Amino acid sequence: MKKLFILAAMIFGLATISTGQTVQLLNPSATSTLDTATNAGTMYLAGRVTGAGTAVIQLNVTKVSGTVAGSASIQASIDNSTNPASWFAVPGSDTLTLADASQVKAWTVTANALHYRVKYTTTGTQKSTPKAYILLKKTN
């Protein structure tokens, strides 16, 4: 009986440890139905965070063709509105200047909003594929 109790306690302990982090692929929003950016334009890769803690948002850019140029930044919102005024720049985050190559950028933020997105703006004649992920390390 004692062994059974110890085994149950270990399983419960592992279950609570494993729920501390979640990884989510940020999907193109309703305004961006494609996963490839072609020429000049803006694409939003959006996702939702549930819980409080530290979030890491990573952007992977793969150059397909042409001359990749532009910028990428992160934005947050409480209500996920389609109104651009409801989205704000995340304090302390910087903007990635897109280079003519494949790139990876990670931003670390304190998760204090429900919705986050990467604003991916390209210029010129290019074709690139942005993929964004968010990892939330929850605080206990």
Q: Domain map of the chain by residue range?
A: 21-138
SS3 69: coil
CATH of 21-138, one of 1.10.8.80, 2.60.120.680, 3.20.20.100, 3.40.50.300: 2.60.120.680
User: Is the pTM higher than 0.95?
Assistant: no
Q: In whole angstroms, what is the distance from residue 132 CA to residue 26 CA?
A: 5
The ranges of the chain with pLDDT < 50 are 4-10, 12-19, 30-33
For position 26, what pLDDT does the model report?
67
The confidence score (pLDDT) of residue 35 equals: 78
pLDDT at 29: 54
Closest alpha carbon to 132 in 87, 84, 73: 73
**The pLDDT value given to residue 98:** 94
Report whether 59 contacts 121 (CB < 8 A).
Answer: no
| Residue the block writes with tokens 């149950």 | 8
